Amino acid sequence: MNDLKDQKCEACRKGAPLVTQKEIDELMPQIPDWQIIEEEDIKHLVRTFKFLNFADALSFTTKVGGQADEEGHHPAILTEWGKVTVTWWSRKIKGLHKSDFIMAAKTDNIA
């Protein structure tokens, strides 16, 4: 299997398949610091990154945003003093797609 961070995010369309539990089990080892949470019956990938100050957190946020624009897939990002929480999920299919795992790995690579 290729590293997730080296794969291209594919545009998610309505009706695209959610990842299966088997796929989740195969993909999670490549992004071990991420958690799967469920909000309103929708699975999300979430990770909080720690920084020494707000400027570093903001710089990271900008880099993640740039990568998201390049790939055409956008997370929820909460930037605070000393930390940034990034949440990936596919809105169109209301859950997790392989692209979310790819983007989580790309986010790790930025960090």
| Choice between 1 and 85, residue whose per-residue pLDDT is larger | 85
Residue-wise pLDDT for 32-68, tens only, equals: 999 999 999 999 999 999 999 999 999 999 999 999 9
Q: Phi and psi at residue 46, in whole multiples of 5°?
A: -135, 140
Tokens of 2: 């290729």
* pLDDT for res 87: 98
* Mean pLDDT, rounded, for 2-11: 74
Domains of the chain by range and CATH? 34-110 (3.30.1360.20)
Whole-number Å distance between alpha carbons of 24 and 26:
5
Q: What is the pTM of this model?
A: 0.91
* pLDDT for res 20: 95
* pLDDT for res 51: 98
Query: Average pLDDT over the chain, rounded to whole?
Result: 93
| Choice between 76 and 10, residue whose per-residue pLDDT is larger | 76
Reported as type and span, the H/E element at residue 71 is helix 54-71
Task: Decide if 103 contacts 30 (C-beta within 8 A).
Answer: no
